[in-house]
Structure 1
Amino acid sequence: MASEELYAIADFCLIPMGLGEPSVAEYIAECSRVLEKSGLKYKMHGYGTNLEGSWTEVSKAIHDCHAAVHAKGAPRIATDVRIGTRVDKNIEPGTGNDSKLQRVQDILAKDAKP
């Protein structure tokens, strides 16, 4: 039986360390450039990034962010990664995070109705 690669919906927070400055924005911008080139759907937020694609592509994108941020001068990086997969539902590529959020918004919209 051929195994199909898992579709992964991830949230990761890459933290450059050892820089001696309070802002890491330049390093995070570098990671954003890497993600843009990856072609994967991603969305940055205040404390991390949502990312989705095949397990291999997601893992490679996070790896490539590490490599780029090190190349920019960060001597250390700590990254927290949370990855979810499903096999009980077909997820249209690029819609995983949006559909999860929409489901919650639909529930809250019912609360708002009189």
Structure 2
Amino acid sequence: MPVTIPCLADVCLIPIGTGSASVSDEVTAITRLAQDSHLETTLHSAGTTIEGPWDQVMDLIGQMHQLLHDKHNIVRIQSDIRVGTRIDKKQSPQDKIDVVQRKLKDL
């Protein structure tokens, strides 16, 4: 049974053993893949936020791994993934930021 609850996932793929401190080529490749998906994605300085149904978000993360293994010859990838779910209302990543910024103004 597919898991379709809405989620926000923050993911950072870390290529290991590339011999370089730079990961911009790998980040560019997975960012293009994310942008080409039908899911909402936001690139930030330490990863990508993906918004959508759980099964589709996890599938995209798997595709990111597959792309780096297959097209960039990365033999090992470590991922940091944080996933949040909420079913009482729809809330985008920007909505969450806006709430905190409003509260900061009220201090």
Separation (CA, whole Å) in 2 of partners of 1:42 and 1:4? 19
Separation (CA, whole Å) in 2 of partners of 1:83 and 1:4? 13
CA contact (8 A) 2:41 2:51 kept: yes
Separation (CA, whole Å) in 1 of partners of 2:23 and 2:3? 38
* Structure 1 gap ranges (5+): none
Given the alignment of the two structures, is residue 97 of structure 1 paired with residue 93 of structure 2, yes or no?
yes
Q: How far is the alpha carbon of 1:4 from its aligned partner?
A: 7.7
Separation (CA, whole Å) in 2 of partners of 1:45 and 1:36? 13
Alignment map for 1:1-114 (pairs within 5 Å): 5-71=4-70, 72-87=72-87, 89-91=88-90, 95-111=91-107
Separation (CA, whole Å) in 2 of partners of 1:56 and 1:27? 23
Aligned AA for 2:28? A
Aligned residues: 105
Aligned AA for 1:49? T
What's the TM-score once normalised by structure 1's chain length?
0.86
* Structure 2 gap ranges (5+): none
- Aligned partner of residue 56 in structure 1, secondary structure: helix
Separation (CA, whole Å) in 2 of partners of 1:17 and 1:4? 30
Separation (CA, whole Å) in 2 of partners of 1:63 and 1:4? 15
Separation (CA, whole Å) in 1 of partners of 2:21 and 2:84? 31
Q: 1:4 to 1:68 in 2, by over 3 A?
A: closer
Structural RMSD (CA)? 1.5
Separation (CA, whole Å) in 1 of partners of 2:77 and 2:16? 5
Dislocated runs of 4+, deviation >6 Å: none
What's the TM-score once normalised by structure 2's chain length?
0.91
Separation (CA, whole Å) in 2 of partners of 1:82 and 1:23? 23
Deviations 1:1-45 (A, max 9, x none): xx9820011111110111001101101111011101112111111
